[in-house]
């Protein structure tokens, strides 16, 4: 079984590479892909660079060039749901693109004709994550993640995203990865640990907590690999 693990920023995959220690590097299309073996699983790991476009390229490459059969995303996010504090984990049940706007033609926010407003995550991987959370005695919120090519550091925009999509967290890559996996029929799982609350302190908190929250997410993904390996 070949599994892709992706992040957007280098900080999001470094903890994984540090845990694995041994891997092979392969450069392709402006990114570095790391191939490793873990407990009988074949892994391909990469960070895409920030945003929907780069993450689309990386997810597609992992599937089409490297032959990934499942994709796990590990990274950080801005919290919308006030129950989510810095370092807390959220697994996406569904993802949407909050920055898509062709409402001038009567379409709802986030909707592209022939696309889906919400793309749902794989149920099997979500159940696996719930088992892992139980075993680790960690709380794992399941909810909607809204994606857009914007770092949100503004209460008003955040509240609009919250009410328009009933979203619990926001980031910049989940939905584009979901679009790729859905189209190519590859089960996917998007995990994020909170780095900030997408408010006026977001920039400051993001810098302060990127590393520690990215580690929380990566540690959880490693435990999911343990389960997928058996």
Q: Known catalytic residue: 12?
A: yes
| 170 binding ligand 3QA? (CB under 6 A) | yes
Q: Contacting ligand 3QA (CB under 6 A), which of 172, 177, 180, 224? A: 172
Residue 29 and residue 111: Cα distance in Å, rounded? Answer: 29
Residue 168 and residue 188: Cα distance in Å, rounded? Answer: 19
Catalytic residue among 88, 196, 199, 216: 196
Q: Which stretch binds ligand 3QA (CB under 6 A): 62-70, 85-93, 146-154, 175-183?
A: 146-154
Residue 88 and residue 114: Cα distance in Å, rounded? Answer: 34
Asked if 79 and 196 count as a contact pair (C-beta separation under 8 A), the reply is yes
Rounded CA Rg of the chain: 16
Cβ of residue 80: shortest distance to ligand 3QA, in angstroms? 10
Cβ of residue 173: shortest distance to ligand 3QA, in angstroms? 6
Cβ of residue 114: shortest distance to ligand 3QA, in angstroms? 27
| 198 binding ligand 3QA? (CB under 6 A) | yes
Residue 139 and residue 145: Cα distance in Å, rounded? Answer: 17
Residue 45 and residue 31: Cα distance in Å, rounded? Answer: 11
Q: Which stretch binds ligand 3QA (CB under 6 A): 32-40, 81-89, 167-175, 222-230?
A: 167-175
| 160 binding ligand 3QA? (CB under 6 A) | no
């Amino acid at each position: 079984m070949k599994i892709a693990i992706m992040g957007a920023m280098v900080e999001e995959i470094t903890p994984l590479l540090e845990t694995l220690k041994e891997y092979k590097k392969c450069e392709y299309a402006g990114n570095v892909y790391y191939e490793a073996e873990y407990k009988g699983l074949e892994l391909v790991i990469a960070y895409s660079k920030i945003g929907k476009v780069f993450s689309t390229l990386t997810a597609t490459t992992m599937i089409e060039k490297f032959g990934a059969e499942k994709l796990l995303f590990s990274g950080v996010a801005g919290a919308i749901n006030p129950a989510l504090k810095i370092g807390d984990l959220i697994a996406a049940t569904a993802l949407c693109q909050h920055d898509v706007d062709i409402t001038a033609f009567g379409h709802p926010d986030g909707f592209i004709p022939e696309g889906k407003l919400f793309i749902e995550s794989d149920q099997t991987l979500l159940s696996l994550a719930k088992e892992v959370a139980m075993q680790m005695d960690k709380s794992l919120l399941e909810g909607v993640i809204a994606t857009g090519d914007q770092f949100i550091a503004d209460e008003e925009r955040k509240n609009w995203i919250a009410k328009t999509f009933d979203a619990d967290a926001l980031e910049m890559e989940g939905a584009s990865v979901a679009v790729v996996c859905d189209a190519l029929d590859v089960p996917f799982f998007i995990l994020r640990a909170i780095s900030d609350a997408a408010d006026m302190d977001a920039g400051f908190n993001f810098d302060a907590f990127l590393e520690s929250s990215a580690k929380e997410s990566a540690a959880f993904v490693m435990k999911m690999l343990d389960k997928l390996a058996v």
